[in-house]
Chain A
Amino acid sequence: MKFGILLLLVLALACALGSFIPQGHTLDWYLQNYTERQAALIYGLALDDVFHSVWFLVLAVILCCNLLLCNLLHLPGLLARWKQAGDPEKAPNAAACEAPNQAQPEQIFEKLHMPAPKRIEADGKTSLFSVKNRLGLWGAWVCHLGILLLVIGFTLGQTTTEEYTVYGVPGQTKPVGDTDYTLTIDDFGVEFSESGGVQQYTAQLTMRDTRTGEQQSDSAAVNAPGNLFGYRVYQNSTGTAAKLTVTMDGKLMQEEVVCVGDYTYVLQTPLMIYLDGYQEDYFEQRPGYAYSTYYMGQADQGGVQVDGDIALRYGSVEISFSEPQDYTLLQVKADHYAWLVLVGGVILLLGLFLAFYLPTRRVWAEQQSDGSWTVYGESRKGGALFAEQFREAAGLPDPRQTMSAPPEASGENNETESR
């Protein structure tokens, strides 16, 4: 247990550290923003990428082992306690509250909302026994199981997830990474609200298996990813694309759609052109395309071409941009263990509910030789509150009226003892 608590503490500290130290920068960045020694420490201990570091993974594995061992080791004891909680013969060993000289014990059971007590006749003695919320005993165990599945699912997902980025304009078909699938963007639209704000981005998509020719279609929008061949397709981002036209002596040589941020080789020239940006109302209500060119890999020139003009000439080659349109950036992903994380999360919630809101309670009564009853009660987590309820149900005086009991003397202590 000590080790488990220490592990939780180390994980909390590691997470805090990972949030305070900016993640994923280069060594140069850390050298600029920290002292040389600090930067060396950050890089040396992989604090630049805490959540994907080996030591963090090791912590996750240790946590899994700890949870697994904890659950396995506690299972026999838990099963014994489960049996014991329903066994009237074991009850007298765990009394936390006692109300002697009761004439109608059934009323106490009723006031404490206990199930109707079982009447037991043994060795000439009569007793009553009732147990409630035995399932609550399993709360912590179920919680641990949920966390275990969640961490396993997350760790496996992190290491096995397939993730690709595809972007383009309607009509384009692009390969999905190195898979056997292609993705065709059938349509892409942006919905605007009355005030002009963007409400939704929606792409209509068709994915094709190039091995079998089979294809599936679906739409992908923000908060509503598409499902194609086991991949989730997310509408991730959007931007502007334009038609790049290259002519030589007036004859069309090249025509293709390029997105802002794309590098494109210009045929018939040693040039590469990069579309830097786009402005809708750049000059005299005409759009402008910012571009840069690279000659033999070296930055050459740049400028802004107004819609309808020629961007640049290279000998008899004319290069221009036109027909601005929206492109969509899609994320294609297959996380084969996300379901395990979800199952783990649901089990965790169930475990917490069992642990916190179904406290096991036992109430039993024994008939004395004079015909009166002594009623006993025990609650695993009710503690002082259950003791108070029991006292009220039995009509016993409040001990605070007479003396103040130290915390250790309260029924709450059973919580630890019974575990």
Chain B
Amino acid sequence: MLQAENVLFTITILLYVAAMVFYFLFIAVKKESFAKIATLIQLVGLVLHTVALICRGIGAGRLPLTNQYEFATSFAWGLSLVSLIFLWRFKFPVLGAFAAPVIILIIGYAALQSREVRELMPSLRSSWLGIHVSTAIIAYGAFGVSFVLGFIFLMREKMQNSAFWDSHVPAREKLDVIGYRSVCLGLLFLSFTMITGAIWAEQAWGSYWSWDPKETWSLVTWLVYAIYLHMRLRRGWKGRAAAIFAVVGFICVIFTYIGVNTFLPGIHSYA
């Protein structure tokens, strides 16, 4: 099973790269058929990615959500899933073109991590693991999409006189609302992640909140997005400012995930 997972993981990376190439061709050549092919390849990649994760789960005899490799590949899976949902819901493939490089960067980071299957320590043997980490994957995926949308918004401003951008990318006000929606999804799931994590921590460590760097940075990320929402709703901070804020927010997400593990080890050092 683990060998199958290795093969599927490699094929998944190749498919995501192929999808990115077709998305770029779509933008360069301006032919919609390339976008359709790219979306199809990304969808096949997502299916194989799912199968790879299932194989790893079966091979390891547990949920594949417990170390840097497993979380990174799941993070890429979450971003791929959320980006495809947003792409399907709002019907603009340019989103895929900007999301694909981010997915490849994250899955590339996963490929650099050790894929060794280790036995779980007792504290990780909990049914809360699946709920806590899977909600984090959706939250991170949604914030990844908000980052991509923020980036597209900023590009959209630069491409005001481009007929291609006018016809294939939603108007700025719509992009802004879609970005807001993805932040809402991310914040709801991040809150869920933090609350389920607290319940689990209480059972495993005897304390629902211990100011561990991972917990603290999850809170910082939550506060940053809470500021984004308040600025948006009360101060009319929309458009360009909101797009920049979405990009900054995702930097916090990445720091919470990679930076904390690298620079601020704590009791979450396995995640």
Contact of B203 with A by CB under 8 A: yes
Q: How far is the CA of A403 from the CA of B151 in the complex (A)?
A: 24
Q: How far is the CA of A39 from the CA of B197 in the complex (A)?
A: 34
Contacts of B226 in A (CB 8 A): 8
How far, in Å, is B214 (CB) from chain A's closest CB?
A: 9
Decide yes or no: A352 and B223 within 8 Å by CB, A222-B122, A384-B176, A407-B176 being known contacts: no
Contact of A170 with B by CB under 8 A: no
Are B188 and A349 in contact (CB-based, < 8 A)? yes
8 A Cβ contacts from A347-361 to B: 348-349, 352-353, 355-357
8 A Cβ contacts from B154-181 to A: 166, 171-174, 176-178, 180-181
Q: How far is the CA of A152 from the CA of B184 in the complex (A)?
A: 25
Contact of B220 with A by CB under 8 A: yes
Contacts of B227 in A (CB 8 A): 5, 8-9, 12
Are A384 and B223 in contact (CB-based, < 8 A)? no
Are B171 and A384 in contact (CB-based, < 8 A)? yes
Contacts of A234 in B (CB 8 A): 205-206
How far, in Å, is B177 (CB) from chain A's closest CB?
A: 5
Are A410 and B235 in contact (CB-based, < 8 A)? no
> Number of B residues whose C-beta is below 8 Å from A?
56
Contact of A93 with B by CB under 8 A: no
Q: How far is the CA of A308 from the CA of B238 in the complex (A)?
A: 77
Contacts of B33 in A (CB 8 A): none
Closest to A49 in B: B211
Contacts of A23 in B (CB 8 A): 211
Decide yes or no: A5 and B122 within 8 Å by CB, A11-B223, A23-B211, A352-B188 being known contacts: no
Contacts of A8 in B (CB 8 A): 223, 226-227, 230
Contact of A239 with B by CB under 8 A: no
8 A Cβ contacts from A222-275 to B: 222-225, 232, 234, 236
Contacts of A18 in B (CB 8 A): 211, 216
Q: How far is the CA of A20 from the CA of B259 in the complex (A)?
A: 11
Closest to B218 in A: A15
Contacts of B260 in A (CB 8 A): 19
Are B198 and A341 in contact (CB-based, < 8 A)? yes
Closest to B227 in A: A8
Are B220 and A12 in contact (CB-based, < 8 A)? yes
Are A345 and B234 in contact (CB-based, < 8 A)? no
Contacts of A348 in B (CB 8 A): 191, 195
Contacts of B223 in A (CB 8 A): 8-9, 11-12, 15
How far, in Å, is A47 (CB) from chain B's closest CB?
A: 13
Are A19 and B217 in contact (CB-based, < 8 A)? yes
Are B234 and A197 in contact (CB-based, < 8 A)? no
Contact of A181 with B by CB under 8 A: no
Are A345 and B209 in contact (CB-based, < 8 A)? no
Q: How far is the CA of A352 from the CA of B211 in the complex (A)?
A: 24
**Residues 113-157 of chain A: 1 if any B CB is under 8 Å from the residue's CB, otherwise 0?**
000000000000000000000000000100000000000001000
Contacts of B204 in A (CB 8 A): 222-223
Q: How far is the CA of A274 from the CA of B231 in the complex (A)?
A: 60
Are B122 and A341 in contact (CB-based, < 8 A)? no
How far, in Å, is A388 (CB) from chain B's closest CB?
A: 7
| Selected interface stretch from A96-104, A365-373, A411-419 | A411-419
Are B122 and A200 in contact (CB-based, < 8 A)? yes
Contact of A51 with B by CB under 8 A: yes
- Of the candidates A19, A224, A355, the one whose C-beta lies within 8 Å of that of B203 is A224
Which A residues form the contact surface with B (CB < 8 A)? Answer: 1, 4-5, 8-9, 11-12, 15-16, 18-20, 23, 51, 140, 154, 193, 195, 197-201, 221-225, 232, 234, 236, 331, 333, 338, 341-342, 345-346, 348-349, 352-353, 355-357, 382-385, 388, 400, 404-407, 410, 412-413, 415-416, 419
Which B residues form the contact surface with A (CB < 8 A)? Answer: 119-123, 125-126, 128, 166, 171-174, 176-178, 180-181, 184-185, 187-188, 191-192, 194-195, 198-200, 202-206, 208-209, 211, 213, 216-217, 219-220, 223-224, 226-227, 230-231, 233-236, 238-239, 260, 264
Q: A223-B122, A406-B173 are in contact. List 8 more A-B contacts (CB 8 A).
A: A8-B223, A16-B217, A234-B206, A338-B202, A342-B199, A348-B195, A357-B184, A413-B236
Q: List 18 contacting pairs A-B, 8 Å CB cutoff, sorted by A.
A: A5-B234, A9-B223, A18-B211, A19-B211, A19-B260, A154-B209, A223-B122, A223-B126, A345-B194, A349-B192, A352-B191, A357-B184, A384-B173, A405-B171, A410-B173, A412-B238, A415-B233, A416-B233
